Structure 1
Amino acid sequence: MKHLLSVMLIALLAAVQAQAGGIRDFLLSEPGVVFRTLPQAARAGLVANAELGKSRTTEATNRMGNTSKIDTLTTDYVAVQLSGSSSIALKMLNKGKADTVIAVIETVSTPARDSRITFYDTRWKQLPAKKCIKQLPAMRDFFKPATPKNKLNELLGDIDFQLIELQWTGAGFNTLTATHSLKSFYSKEDYQKWAPYLVDTITYHIEGTTLKPDKKQ
């Protein structure tokens, strides 16, 4: 009973703080839709130690028996390593003081890395992706504009799995970088037929609560 009351208190306190707090408060208030294997009490312990500068030496065991830890924690960005093969990164997108979106990147290794991004409001209600990014990156976007249409369709037809890793990079983690994983998933021989037509990365910048593709890519 005492443990249950402690968990409920943590959840209540986090929910109140998240209304006007930073990313650490949203990490604590997340109800378990994103962090399905890492309960709020474990997250609270990781945050407390990260804020004391102990994030690199502090770990927690999640519900799957894997080791979880916080890799990076700033006022508006947090990266959590859930296990050796999965991670979650939260980034606050702000437009003034009243409008905030939480962008969540979940990444798994297959063994090539593959990600998905979802968006939530401050009450953890999922938002339509198109509200925050006009078009999610797809494998087609990595091919150079000069690639002939027939050749493009042929090359896309040879790709069985569209594996794309998403990361927050750059100063203040304010750039969304999409990187295709073809080189690490397919054989060297297979990759060579795509390589001349590809760009390695696509980047997006933050404008308020939306992500816009950078020009000249």
Structure 2
Amino acid sequence: MSAVIALSGLAASAQITASKAFISAPSDVFPLFDTNTRMDMVDYYNSGLSTPSANRMDGRSSVTDMSPQSLTVKISESSSAQLAILTAGSDTLIAVVSTVAAPGLDSTVKFYDKGWTPLQGGRYFTAPEWKDWVTPGHDTSEITAYAPFMLSSYYIDPAKGTLTITNNLSTFLDEDIYTMVAPALHPSLVYKWNGKRFSL
């Protein structure tokens, strides 16, 4: 039932497309691109061109994936962002996932209303703790003895109403150590959007 609610809600928000939200975003959300640059990036993608656009740090950026409800932009060689359109009750929300290589990919997510007013993220998603990553029969101490923090990347699939969080510790820990702790860790966690928040 929750999946039906999520999908119907996501469909209802289709009038606010990801590309329009990307273009209209305030400068503090995407500070490296002005509005005209964002328009160019969307036009290049729609035209099937891989032409990158110059950003304010003299780098090259481009839209790499786009649908009515989601847009992904490669900001630099070590950073990217995904913008996803969601619906919470009668409200349309915009989620922005920011991902950096640190050195493994690591993400955060922020939420905004359709007018780009920042929202309290904890209302819509709570990042997983170590206990959420640990597989049955194991203990968090088996991991935290070797890994002081988790590295994980986020991807929102609005069509499915999911937020998938991928474990990237293998890019941070030595291969031998990761092989030892891997059985105690889930490779990924999938959160479902229930029309109000993402929950495990």
Bin the TM-score by the shorter chain: 0.7 to 0.9
Residue 205 of structure 1 corresponds to: 192
Residue 9 of structure 1 corresponds to: none
Query: TM-score, structure 1 length as denominator?
Result: 0.78
Between the aligned partners of 1:83 and 1:50, the Cα distance in structure 2 is 17
Between the aligned partners of 1:108 and 1:209, the Cα distance in structure 2 is 27
Residue 51 of structure 1 corresponds to: 46
Alignment of 1:63-212 (within 5 A): 63-95=56-88, 98-133=90-125, 135-147=126-138, 151-169=139-157, 172=159, 174-212=161-199
Q: Residue type matched to 2:25 in 1? A: E
Higher relative contact order (CA 8 A, sep 6+): 2
Which SS does the other structure have where 1:36 is aligned? coil
Between the aligned partners of 1:209 and 1:121, the Cα distance in structure 2 is 13
Q: Residue type matched to 1:46 in 2? A: M
Q: Residue type matched to 1:79 in 2? A: T
The CA deviation string for residues 9-58 of structure 1, in whole angstroms up to 9 with x for no partner, is xxxxxxxxxxx53111110111112211122111011112323333xx22
Corresponding residue pairs, total: 186
Which SS does the other structure have where 1:43 is aligned? helix
Alignment of 1:5-84 (within 5 A): 21-54=16-49, 57-84=50-77
The CA deviation string for residues 156-183 of structure 1, in whole angstroms up to 9 with x for no partner, is 24312321111135x8363211112111
The alpha carbon displacement at 1:128 in A equals 1.1
Q: Residue type matched to 1:162 in 2? A: M
Contact 2:163 2:190 survives alignment (8 Å) = yes
Per the alignment, do residues 111 and 152 of structure 1 end up closer, same or farther by CA in structure 2, a change over 3 Å counting? closer
Q: Which runs of 5+ in 1 are unaligned?
A: 1-19
The alpha carbon displacement at 1:73 in A equals 1.1
Which SS does the other structure have where 2:71 is aligned? strand
Between the aligned partners of 1:209 and 1:101, the Cα distance in structure 2 is 10
Identity %: 28
The alpha carbon displacement at 1:139 in A equals 3.5
Contact 1:23 1:90 survives alignment (8 Å) = yes
Per the alignment, do residues 41 and 209 of structure 1 end up closer, same or farther by CA in structure 2, a change over 3 Å counting? farther
Residue 9 of structure 2 corresponds to: none
Q: Residue type matched to 2:165 in 1? A: A
The alpha carbon displacement at 1:74 in A equals 0.8
Bigger radius of gyration among the two: 1
